[in-house]
Amino acid sequence: MSNPIIQKIDSALSDAGAKLLNAVTEAEIEEVRIEILGRNGLFPALSKEMGAVQPEDRKAVGQAFNTGRTRFQELLDGAKQRLAAGSGAKSCDELDLTLPGRLRKLGHKHPVTKVIDDSVAIFRRMGFIVADGPEIETVYHNFDALNTPADHPSRDPGDTFYFKDGRLLRTQTSPVQIRVMESQEPPVRIVAPGRCFRRDTPDATHSMNFHQIEGLYIDRDVSLADLKSILQAYARELFGPNVSIRLRPHFFPFTEPSVEYDFSCIMCGGKGCNVCKQSGWLEIAGAGMVDPNVLKAVGYDPEIWSGFAFGMGIERIAMIRYRINDIRLLYENDTRFLEQF
């Protein structure tokens, strides 16, 4: 049991503290000051009782007396400052909890960036590193090395932007595959997000500027099963554990076998709805086993190395994920749009 003087100080501090916190006028503060420090206040009274304190308690009581007085002065000063700053419940006793809070809000990443960030994070967890390449590309990297025939329609100036010097704006992120393989020995395990360009007239689903993320894995004994597994893992990480994946045979010059891959519709779960056109599946993008000609073009021996590549449109994923129905919204940068993500 502590000394009664210490008890008095403690209880006076807590009473006065509460009063000061709720004080809304200078007069209220002054009232408390007089009650504690005034000539007939608590501390002058207590100082008279100090003489009667037992010697063994004297040190502790003296300390409590001093710190109590200092603490009390701090409380008084704090209350005065609070009033001077004009804050606090000056004219009402209760807080209005519905008033807007004052913490500065965080900003917003663009939905395209969010999808890229999340995709990169997922692929990094699966051991991929991020590579990049230039947006102004050579015909060699964008087409030739990717086994695209010389008269392939995608090379047409109607589809691809060219420059006077013969170079082009890359139409896909696939040239990054070539640049990476040219610069290092296998194995390779990369993803390459980036901007691509096609000479498409803009509408609700087409944009001449868009983003892709490319994936490439070259190693010994890489199979279609590895491709399917990685894409399924990605789909589930991004869209949830119930998403399934479907591969369909397709054709691309730079892969053989080539596939297109679909995710089960995230709206209806595969039952069929308007978004998936009743099919239960959402077409995502293309992939396949890297064509032996592509491996040869970069000096990899297709007898030793095999691998898969995939690419997907970021805008497409973002539009599915956030239910955005017009790609042009992504490039308008209306802040009412941006702050939704």
Partner 1 sequence: MNISYNWLSQYVDISCGVETLAAKLTMAGIEVEAIERSGGIPEGIVVGEILERKQHPDADKLSVCRVSNGKEELQVVCGAPNCDAGSKVPLATIGATLTDKSSGESFKIKKSKLRGVESHGMLCSGRELGLDDDHSGLLILDSALKTGTPLAELFPGDTMFELEVTPNRPDWLSHWGVARDLACLLDKDAALPEIKTPVPAKNEDTANLVTVLDQELCPRYTARVIRNVKVAESPEWLKERLLSIGLRPINNVVDITNFVLMELGHPLHAFDLDKLSGKRIVVRRAADGEKMTMLDDSKLALKPNHLVIADAEKPVALAGIMGGLDSGVTDSTVNVLLESAAFFTSNIRASSRELGISSDSSHRFERGIDWNMVETASDRATSLILELAGGELVNELVDIQGRKPEFKPVVCRFERIRKLTGVDLSNCRIVDIFKKLRLDVSGIDEIKCVVTPPSFRLDIEREADLAEEVARINGLDAVPVVPVTSKSVASFSKDAYTGLQGLRDELTALGLYECLHYSTVSDKSALSDSRFVSEDVIRMDNPLSLDLVCLRPSLLGEMLATVERNISRKNLDLQLFEIDNVFCGNPQKFPEERLECCIVLTGHKHPERFSAERGELYDFYDLKGLTEAWFAARGIEKFRFEKAEDDRFAPGRCAAVMIEGKCAGHIGELNSRYSTKFRSVYPIFLGVFETSAILKAKLESPLYSPLAMFPSTTRDVAFLADQSLQHQAVVDFIRGARLKNLEKVELFDIFTDEKAVGAGKKSMAYTLTFRSSERTLTDKEVNEAFDKLREKLSAELKVELR
Q: Give the rounded distance of the alpha carbon of 73 from its chain centre.
A: 47
Among 129, 240, 301, 325, contact with partner 1 (rule: CB under 8 A) = 129
Q: Which is nearer to partner 1, 48 or 164 (CB)?
A: 164
Say whether residue 156 binds partner 1 (CB under 8 A).
Answer: yes
Number of Cβ within 10 Å of residue 99's Cβ equals: 7
How many residues touch partner 1 under the rule CB under 8 A: the total is 82
Give the one residue of 55, 127, 241, 299 binding partner 1; rule: CB under 8 A: 127
Structure tokens at 125: 């967890």
| Distance in Å, CB of 158 to partner 1, minimum | 8
Tokens of 99: 């008033």
Q: How far is the CB of 108 from partner 1 (least distance, A)?
A: 5
The per-residue DSSP string of 250-302 comes to EEETTEEEEEEEEEEPTTTTTS--TTTTTSSEEEEEEEEEEPHHHHHHTT--T
Looking at the Cβ atoms of 16 and 307, the one nearer to partner 1 is: 307
Rounded CA separation 9/280 (Å): 74
Q: Which stretch binds partner 1 (CB under 8 A): 29-37, 44-52, 57-65, 253-261?
A: 253-261
- Residue 264 interacts with partner 1 (CB under 8 A)? no
Q: Among 39-47, 56-64, 75-83, 201-209, which window interacts with partner 1 (CB under 8 A)?
A: 201-209
Q: Can you tell me which of 56, 93, 94, 332 binds partner 1, judged by CB under 8 A?
A: 332
Site for partner 1 in 52-111 (CB under 8 A): 99-100, 102, 104-110
Whole-number Å distance between alpha carbons of 247 and 260: 6
Q: Which stretch binds partner 1 (CB under 8 A): 22-30, 36-44, 133-141, 264-272?
A: 133-141
Instruction: Give the footprint of partner 1 on residues 305-324 (CB under 8 A).
Output: 306
By CB under 8 A, name the one of 24, 37, 53, 126 that touches partner 1. Answer: 126
Q: Phi and psi of 18, rounded to 5°?
A: -65, -45
What span, in angstroms and rounded, lies between the C-alpha atoms of 224 and 246?
12
120 part of the interface to partner 1, by CB under 8 A = yes
Among 51, 91, 93, 164, indicate the residue that binds partner 1 (CB under 8 A).
164
Rounded-to-integer distance, Cα 61 and Cα 129, Å: 67
Question: Would you tell me how many other CB atoms lie within 10 Å of the CB of residue 26?
Answer: 12
187 lies in the binding site for partner 1 (CB under 8 A): yes
- Minimum CB separation from partner 1 for residue 18, in Å? 26
Residue of the chain from 39, 40, 221, 323 that contacts partner 1 (CB under 8 A): 221
Binding of residue 140 to partner 1 (CB under 8 A): no
Separation CA 228–CA 245 (nearest Å):
8
Q: Is 113 in the site for partner 1 (CB under 8 A)?
A: yes
**Exposure class string for 42-68: b at 16+ Cβ within 10 A, else e:** beeebeeeeeebeeeeeeebeebbeeb
Residues 254/243, Cβ–Cβ less than 8 Å: no
Between CA 272 and CA 313 the distance in angstroms is 23
Q: Which stretch binds partner 1 (CB under 8 A): 10-18, 44-52, 55-63, 162-170?
A: 162-170
